[in-house]
Amino acid sequence: MVMAPASAGIASHASVLTPAYKGTVSQPSSYISQGGCAKVKNTPMKWNAKTGLITGAQSAASVTCAKSLGYVGAYSSAYTDSYIEVAIPVHAAHNGNNTIATSWSLNAASAAALTAAACPAKNVNYHPALYAYSSAYCEDGLYMSFEVEAQVTDLSNSSWYSNYSYAESYNDSYFENYTDCYNYGTPTCYNYSASASFANTYGYNAAGVSTFTTNGASSLVLWSNGTNMVRAHHYVVIVEVFMYIDSYAEKANLLGPWTGSSSGTLNLATLGNGATLNSISIS
């Protein structure tokens, strides 16, 4: 008699779930905030259990207001985020440690714009009175982020959960120029000007994270390790998709006109864009 290795018995119980996903529950949420001369739009995220597709879109744009007096009317800001959680019932492939993999196809479109024109002369008191303060500035900035997450929870024992996996891609840019003067015994002024634009992608237990992007197509596999899983227990894989945009444009106490602006869009909803959960494998 030839004995099969112990690992063969485990592998024979491996399972793969693909759309349509049965018995799922989803919970979307969204938030918008705008101030001054800013505009924001948000299309909340939706889950389609038949296809495994998650969609949503948002945009935010800030521009300095034409008129301001001192610091009144000086600040414009737009913020929006979209978030969805989806719980998908699964079973352990075998008693003991299991490996759970969620496989994704992602298509996102994004655009970003930022002005970085030099500030005009500032209306600053360079010799403020004792304990007085004077400042002037112009600045704008934009931050956009797109994230996918996964973990597993035991519904039969809510104190148990698997390790967490995620991937995030973001873009960050800003321009700022300001002058601060104060007097705590000796009049002192500080001038600062800077601009930067950069992007980064990172993750944890995420295969393919280097291709993950806010603008284009990518593929991911998020891995979660389930410790001491029990075949008789009820589990859910919880997947989460999150995106947000934060923009601002601000000026105060300038001697001439300055128009600053920042804007961004994240499209996960039209023109073939979306986050598709292709499969869940448990082994």
List, for residues 48-101, the tens digit of each pLDDT value.
999 999 999 999 999 999 888 877 888 999 999 999 999 999 999 999 999 999
Query: Mean pLDDT score of the chain, rounded to an integer?
Result: 91
Q: Taking the model in full, what pTM does it have?
A: 0.88
Q: What does the alpha-carbon distance between residue 274 and residue 58 come to, in Å, rounded to a whole number?
A: 13
Residue 226 has pLDDT above 90, yes or no: no
Residue 270 has pLDDT above 70, yes or no: yes
Q: Which helix (H) or strand (E) covers residue 29, if one does? A: strand 25-35
pLDDT of residue 117: 84
Q: What does the alpha-carbon distance between residue 244 and residue 60 come to, in Å, rounded to a whole number?
A: 9
Whether 250 and 138 have beta carbons less than 8 Å apart is answered as yes
Whether 241 and 222 have beta carbons less than 8 Å apart is answered as no
